[in-house]
């Protein structure tokens, strides 16, 4: 297998042997792949293209190999690095970690790849970072076949009513129920759900969307905590925010 100049982003990298890197990359046409960048750490001192092997840089990668792990043969910049600072950076790290957990190797998602590039750009100038993340999470669930309607009861097929209360079920999506007070079985107001369906994530809908996405993603992320949350937990405590 030989692939030339594939649009890609690096999701994660780690040291390998004495001087190499193992890269987890998200590509436009081949999905998530593992690549070995031989000698990348040794060459980095000379300011070579190894300096490009960082997250959040649009890249063109060439690679080859027959096994599960391919060998990186060429790297070029496809555009300027995305300038992320403070919570923008933490949010992008969260997106990368979620993709690492949920994407299967060699499973192409070209629309999701485009959405990933867009979310990085949106994080740089959006007034409300949480709205960017919630929209991406909803699109991610749809792309992976786990999506659910914010406008329709997943059990009865009835339209979501603004005055109703709904619970999330992993097999059906949102189903009507009582308001309740059980934190392990949260209820969501129909009004907030309809606001989310319109892409509105302010006020009460902001908090409801955060809870709903955590609940929906937990079904697929597993029990291990997200490391990206630990990295900015101190900062989030200062501002009273959560991801």
Residue 173 lies in a domain: yes
Shared-domain flag, residues 118 and 225: yes
Query: Is position 181 within any domain?
Result: yes
Check whether residue 135 and residue 193 sit in a common domain. Answer: yes
**Contact in structure between 149 and 166 (CB atoms under 8 Å):** no
> How many domains would you assign to the chain?
2
CA–CA dist 205, 191 (Å, integer): 8
Final residue in a domain of this structure, among 77, 106, 134: 77
Q: Which residues pair with 14 in a beta bridge?
A: 22
62 and 116 together in one domain:
no
- Under 8 Å between Cβ of 45 and 28: no
What pLDDT shows up at residue 222?
Answer: 83
- Let me know whether 69 and 117 are in one domain: no
CB atoms within 10 A of CB 61: 28
Q: What is the pLDDT of residue 226?
A: 87
> Which residues share a beta bridge with 132?
none
What's residue 1's pLDDT? 86
In a domain, 130, yes or no: yes
The conformation of residue 46, written as its DSSP 8-state character, comes to: G
Is 141 found in the same domain as 49?
A: no
**Do 150 and 221 share a domain, yes or no?**
yes
Are 207 and 243 spatial neighbours (Cβ–Cβ below 8 Å)? no
Residue 24's closest CA among 100, 82, 95, 108? 100
- Residue 91 CA from chain centroid, whole number: 9
Residue 82 lies in a domain: no
Residues 101 and 189 in one domain: yes
103 and 14 share a domain? no
Range of the domain at 51: 2-77
Same domain, 62 and 122: no
Considering the domain architecture, whether residues 11 and 91 belong to the same structural domain is answered as no
8 sits in the region (left: phi over 0; alpha: psi -120 to 50; else beta) called: beta
Answer yes or no: are the C-beta atoms of 19 and 41 closer than 8 Å: yes
Residue 95 burial (10 A CB sphere; 0-12, 13-18, 19+): buried
Which CATH number belongs to the domain containing residue 35 in this structure? 2.40.50.140
Of 57, 77, 97, the last residue of a domain is 77
Q: What is the model's pLDDT at position 131?
A: 94
On whether both 61 and 103 belong to a single domain, the answer is: no
What is residue 18's predicted lDDT score, i.e. its pLDDT? 87
CB burial of residue 94 (10 Å; 0-12, 13-18, 19+): buried
Tens place of pLDDT for every residue, the chain, 243 residues?
A: 899 999 999 999 999 988 899 999 999 999 999 999 998 887 655 555 678 999 999 999 999 998 899 999 999 999 999 999 889 999 999 999 999 999 999 999 999 999 999 999 999 988 889 999 999 999 999 999 999 999 999 999 999 999 999 999 999 999 998 876 666 789 999 999 999 999 999 899 999 999 999 999 998 998 888 888 777 665 555 555 555
Q: Do the beta carbons of residue 164 and residue 143 sit within 8 Å?
A: no
The answer to whether residues 174 and 184 touch, using CB atoms and an 8 Å cutoff, is: no
Query: pTM score, two decimals?
Result: 0.89
Give the number of residues written for the chain.
Answer: 243
Residue where a domain terminates, one of 77, 112, 140 = 77
Examine the domain organization and report whether 64 and 112 are in the same domain: no
């Amino acid at each position: 297998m030989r692939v030339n100049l594939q649009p890609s982003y690096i999701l994660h990298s780690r040291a390998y042997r004495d001087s190499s890197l193992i890269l987890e990359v998200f590509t436009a046409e081949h999905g998530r792949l593992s690549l070995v960048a031989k000698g990348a750490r040794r060459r980095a001192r000379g300011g070579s293209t190894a300096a490009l092997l960082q997250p959040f840089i649009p890249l063109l990668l060439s690679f080859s190999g027959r096994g599960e792990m391919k060998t990186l043969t060429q790297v070029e910049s496809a555009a300027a690095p995305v300038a992320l600072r403070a919570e923008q950076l933490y949010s992008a790290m969260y997106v990368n970690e979620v993709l690492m957990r949920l994407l299967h190797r060699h499973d192409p998602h070209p629309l999701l790849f485009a959405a990933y590039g867009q979310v990085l750009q949106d994080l740089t100038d959006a007034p409300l970072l949480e709205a960017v993340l919630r929209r991406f999470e909803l699109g991610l669930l749809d792309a992976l076949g786990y999506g659910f309607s914010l406008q329709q009861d997943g059990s009865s097929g009835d339209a979501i009513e603004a005055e109703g209360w709904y619970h999330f079920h992993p097999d059906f999506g949102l189903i009507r129920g009582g308001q309740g007070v059980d934190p392990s079985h949260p209820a969501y107001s129909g009004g907030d759900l309809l606001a989310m369906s319109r892409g509105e994530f302010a006020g009460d809908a902001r908090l409801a969307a955060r809870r709903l996405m955590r609940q929906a993603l937990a079904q697929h992320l597993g029990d291990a905590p997200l490391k990206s949350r630990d990295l900015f937990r101190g900062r989030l405590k200062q501002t009273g925010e959560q991801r």
